[in-house]
């Protein structure tokens, strides 16, 4: 009898109830709570590891990262059961955000999940601990070597510092290759082709459309970059001679004043307009006015509060790291932190009293004020409309750090006249325009690595092919596949997507132009400062408070009235400089041989 009943039951078809939108909402509510809890734990552990690098903090960071990544992968995999449901737009947006939660999704295998977390923390720590030791009793950190590239004008010394830093990264190469394999497995388990496909899926368009969009923006900017490149190349040749510069039109990277040639403002003294005396040196003015690290950050905060934003919480000043400790290793790369959903905002950087760090502080605080603006959003909407928005916000403020602003806050005595505009624009172009090709090539390299187009045997060659093509730069000496030069840039071992910085350079000028119009500014765009304008602050806050709840064109429209990315604001800003550069470049070759 019992046997007969069992056979009948087994014969009855079993159909689990099909999932409904109500089920999807319940799933998402639990997912957000779980990810927020684990995210907080991971943030605290990562802060400890980056501000005190040792075995114990590395273990804690890896363990917390593994728990967060594994849960994200598990939830994202489970969420695929709701893929075919027609969901409300905001709920569908959360499901996509869940899949994009981590930049390197954990693979399904538990052992590989732990391995991936261990590899990520190891790479990050190796970079943070990196030193160049030409002799056993003389070791130089990245900060030390950056000082050399900024200050020295001896080509041999520059080359030694440049290639010295690149001795830290060859050991990373096998681990990075394994990282790519594991990250791709996690991405594929979520339904993406690879990690590159995942990264490019966060822009409210297809990955291929996104690639085409950044190429379109680059084409808009290339004539301006080419003019700047030709002018700087000629002036460097005047300084160092044809033998060092070469005849291929490429600039040796170590001569740009920056470890990666991503900005050239440190060689301003070599390329400044002839017979021009700068109206002021902001680094000297900061020192003259007795600015220390704390006062530098206070100045950045002051710009935001002048726009109507509330001051930073007291815990910001208690828990941030402003200076490099003498008693431990830290990751000095500047970053902003939202440890407990805007209740515990911090920045981490080894501040120097100079112009570059004054601007960087405004950039990092932009992250913090953005984080606080969207704190009431649900967990998966606590972010910017896309990652380029987050990077752009602080720099939008920094563009308003004009001579007019500096006089208002007492850093200079008088505003220089229009005769100094070319000088000021050239300084800004050496920072902003020079950056754009590098901002594009870092992720172009990684997209090809993740997709398999670039094989591990060609990692270094592919890197330098892109540097030559986009930046018009070349290595200081012969590089081979024994080297791993991409690993000498933090964002590669740190696994931080980089296209966001390219986008940010476009967005910040687009935001700036629109806010200057709101402010009622007339005259050259580069002379606008909206310091103290509460209407500008409200416009910014309204956009930032949206977080990631709406597609980025909606957020862009809220800030600028435009729905498309547009590089014409950069072109307008630097128009007087472009005309001047073209005049200076008459009779000179423009461009370079990339092959």
* Co-location of 478 and 423 in the same domain: yes
Q: Could you write out the DSSP letters of every residue in 313-357?
A: PHHHHHH-B-S--SSS----S-EEEETTTTSSEEEE----SSHHH
Q: Give the least confident one: 10-14, 73-77, 535-539, 569-573.
A: 10-14
Average of per-residue pLDDT across 378-396: 92
* Co-location of 324 and 471 in the same domain: yes
Task: Give the pair of three-digit tokens for residue 351.
Answer: 């501040």
Q: Give the other-Cβ count within 10 Å of 431's Cβ.
A: 21
Structural domain for 349, as ranges = 204-595
* Co-location of 195 and 331 in the same domain: no
Which CATH number does the domain housing residue 249 bear?
1.10.1370.30
pLDDT at 538: 96
Could you give the percent of the chain with pLDDT greater than 70? 97
State yes or no: pLDDT of 383 exceeds 60.
Answer: yes
- Can you tell me the distance from the alpha carbon of 28 to that of 41, in angstroms, rounded to the nearest whole number? 20
* Co-location of 193 and 314 in the same domain: no
> Which of the four pLDDT bands, split at 50, 70 and 90, describes residue 355?
confident
Range 348-363 burial, b when 16+ CB lie within 10 A, else e: bbbbbbbbbbbbbbbb
- CB 407, CB 414: distance < 8 Å: yes
State yes or no: pLDDT of 275 exceeds 60.
Answer: yes
pLDDT at 9: 42
* Co-location of 179 and 245 in the same domain: no
Q: Give the least confident one: 11-25, 319-333, 472-486.
A: 11-25
* Co-location of 344 and 368 in the same domain: yes
pLDDT at 268: 94
* Co-location of 463 and 427 in the same domain: yes
- Can you tell me the distance from the alpha carbon of 374 to that of 368, in angstroms, rounded to the nearest whole number? 10
Of 225, 62, 135, nearest in space to 590 by CA = 225
- E strands within 439-521? 473-474
pLDDT at 420: 81
pLDDT at 2: 45
φ/ψ of residue 140, rounded to 5: -125, 135
336: β partners: 347
Each residue's pLDDT tens digit, 140-149: 999 999 999 9
Q: Give the other-Cβ count within 10 Å of 132's Cβ.
A: 20
Range 95-127 burial, b when 16+ CB lie within 10 A, else e: bebbbbbbbbbbbeeeebbbbbbbbbbbbbbbb
Q: Give the least confident one: 153-167, 190-204, 406-420, 500-514.
A: 406-420
Asked whether residue 144 is domain-assigned, the answer is no
Average of per-residue pLDDT across 270-275: 88
* Co-location of 531 and 595 in the same domain: yes
Each residue's pLDDT tens digit, 81-97: 999 999 999 999 999 99
Asked whether residue 14 is domain-assigned, the answer is no
Asked whether residue 15 is domain-assigned, the answer is no
Asked whether residue 552 is domain-assigned, the answer is yes
**Helix/strand/coil for 287:** helix
pLDDT at 595: 78
pLDDT at 402: 87
Asked whether residue 167 is domain-assigned, the answer is no
pLDDT at 16: 62
State yes or no: pLDDT of 425 exceeds 60.
Answer: yes
* Co-location of 186 and 210 in the same domain: no
pLDDT at 587: 92
Mean pLDDT for all residues in the chain: 93
Asked whether residue 221 is domain-assigned, the answer is yes
Each residue's pLDDT tens digit, 226-260: 999 999 999 999 999 999 999 999 999 999 999 99
- Can you tell me the distance from the alpha carbon of 271 to that of 188, in angstroms, rounded to the nearest whole number? 48
* Co-location of 252 and 107 in the same domain: no
pLDDT at 514: 97
Give the H or E element holding residue 134. Answer: strand 132-135
Each residue's pLDDT tens digit, 46-74: 999 999 999 999 999 999 998 998 899 89
* Active-site option among 491, 521, 557, 572: 491
pLDDT at 10: 45
Q: State the chain's maximal CA–CA distance in angstroms.
A: 107
Asked whether residue 282 is domain-assigned, the answer is yes
* Active-site option among 301, 364, 391, 431: 364
pLDDT at 8: 43
pTM: 0.88
- Can you tell me the distance from the alpha carbon of 117 to that of 64, in angstroms, rounded to the nearest whole number? 9
Task: Give the pair of three-digit tokens for residue 191.
Answer: 């339904």
- Can you tell me the distance from the alpha carbon of 129 to that of 329, in angstroms, rounded to the nearest whole number? 6
Q: Give the other-Cβ count within 10 Å of 10's Cβ.
A: 8
- Can you tell me the distance from the alpha carbon of 490 to that of 199, in angstroms, rounded to the nearest whole number? 18
State yes or no: pLDDT of 303 exceeds 60.
Answer: yes
pLDDT at 15: 53
State yes or no: pLDDT of 398 exceeds 50.
Answer: yes
- CB 394, CB 303: distance < 8 Å: no
Asked whether residue 476 is domain-assigned, the answer is yes
pLDDT at 419: 79
More reliable by pLDDT, 444 or 275:
444
φ/ψ of residue 311, rounded to 5: -60, 160
Would you call 491 a catalytic residue per the annotation?
yes
Average of per-residue pLDDT across 260-276: 91
Q: How many domains does the chain have?
A: 2
- Can you tell me the distance from the alpha carbon of 53 to that of 420, in angstroms, rounded to the nearest whole number? 46
Each residue's pLDDT tens digit, 6-58: 454 444 444 567 899 999 999 999 999 999 999 999 999 999 999 999 999 99
pLDDT at 12: 46
- Can you tell me the distance from the alpha carbon of 16 to that of 7, in angstroms, rounded to the nearest whole number? 20
- Can you tell me the distance from the alpha carbon of 227 to that of 62, in angstroms, rounded to the nearest whole number? 46
* Co-location of 528 and 504 in the same domain: yes
* Co-location of 252 and 319 in the same domain: yes
- Calculate the alpha carbon distances from 295 to 287, 349, 574 in Å: 11, 14, 31
The residue whose two tokens read 């004054």 is 358
């Amino acid at each position: 009898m019992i046997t007969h009943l069992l056979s009948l039951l087994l014969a009855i078809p079993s159909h689990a109830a099909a999932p409904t939108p109500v089920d999807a909402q319940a799933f998402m509510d639990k997912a957000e709570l779980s990810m927020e809890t684990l995210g907080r734990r991971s943030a605290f552990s990562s802060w400890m590891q980056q501000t005190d690098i040792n075995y114990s903090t590395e273990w804690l960071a890896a363990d917390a990262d593994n728990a967060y990544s594994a849960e994200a992968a598990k939830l994202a995999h489970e969420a695929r059961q709701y893929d075919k449901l027609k969901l409300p737009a905001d709920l569908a947006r959360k499901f996509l955000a869940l899949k994009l939660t981590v930049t390197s999704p954990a693979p399904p295998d538990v052992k590989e999940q732990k391995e991936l977390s261990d590899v990520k923390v190891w790479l990050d720590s190796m970079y943070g601990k990196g030193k160049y030791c030409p002799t056993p009793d003389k070791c130089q950190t990245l900060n030390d070597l950056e000082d050399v590239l900024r200050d020295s004008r001896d080509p041999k010394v520059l080359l030694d510092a440049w290639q010295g830093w690149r001795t830290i990264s060859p050991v990373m190469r096998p681990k990075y290759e394994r990282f790519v394999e594991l990250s791709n497995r996690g991405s594929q388990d979520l339904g993406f082709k690879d990690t590159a496909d995942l990264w490019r899926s966060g822009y409210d368009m297809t990955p291929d459309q996104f690639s085409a969009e950044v190429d379109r923006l680059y084409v808009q900017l290339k004539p301006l970059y080419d003019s700047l490149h030709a002018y700087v190349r000629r002036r460097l040749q005047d300084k160092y001679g044809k033998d060092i510069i070469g005849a291929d039109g490429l600039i040796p990277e170590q001569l740009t004043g920056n470890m990666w040639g991503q900005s050239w403002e440190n060689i301003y003294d070599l390329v400044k307009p002839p017979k021009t005396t700068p109206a002021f040196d902001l680094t000297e003015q900061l020192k003259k006015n007795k600015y220390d690290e704390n006062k530098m950050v206070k100045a950045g905060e002051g710009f935001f509060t002048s726009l109507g934003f509330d001051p930073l919480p007291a815990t910001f000043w208690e828990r941030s790291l402003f200076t490099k400790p003498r008693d431990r290793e830290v990751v000095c790369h500047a970053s902003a932190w939202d440890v407990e959903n805007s209740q515990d905002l911090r920045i981490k950087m080894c501040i120097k009293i100079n112009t570059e760090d004054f601007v960087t502080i405004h950039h990092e605080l932009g992250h913090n004020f953005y984080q606080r603006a969207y704190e009431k959003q649900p967990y998966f909407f606590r972010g910017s409309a896309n990652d380029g928005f987050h990077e752009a916000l602080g720099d939008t403020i920094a563009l308003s750090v004009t001579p007019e602003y500096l006089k208002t806050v007492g850093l200079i005595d008088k505003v220089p006249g229009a005769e100094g505009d070319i000088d000021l624009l050239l300084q800004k172009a050496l920072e902003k325009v020079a950056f754009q090709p590098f901002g594009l090539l870092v992720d172009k390299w990684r997209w090809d690595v993740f997709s398999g187009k670039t094989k591990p045997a060609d990692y270094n060659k592919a890197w330098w092919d892109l540097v030559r093509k986009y930046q018009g730069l070349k290595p200081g000496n012969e590089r081979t596949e024994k080297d791993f030069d991409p690993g000498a840039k933090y964002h590669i071992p740190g696994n931080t997507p980089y296209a966001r910085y390219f986008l940010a350079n476009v967005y910040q000028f687009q935001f700036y132009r629109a806010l200057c119009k709101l402010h009622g500014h007339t005259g050259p765009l580069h002379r606008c400062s909206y310091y103290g304008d509460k209407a500008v602050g409200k416009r910014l806050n309204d956009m930032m408070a949206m977080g990631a709840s709406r597609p980025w064109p909606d957020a862009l429209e809220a800030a600028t009235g435009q729905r498309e990315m547009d590089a014409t604001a950069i072109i307008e800003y630097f128009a007087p400089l472009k005309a001047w550069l073209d005049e200076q470049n008459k009779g000179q070759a423009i461009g370079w041989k990339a092959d």
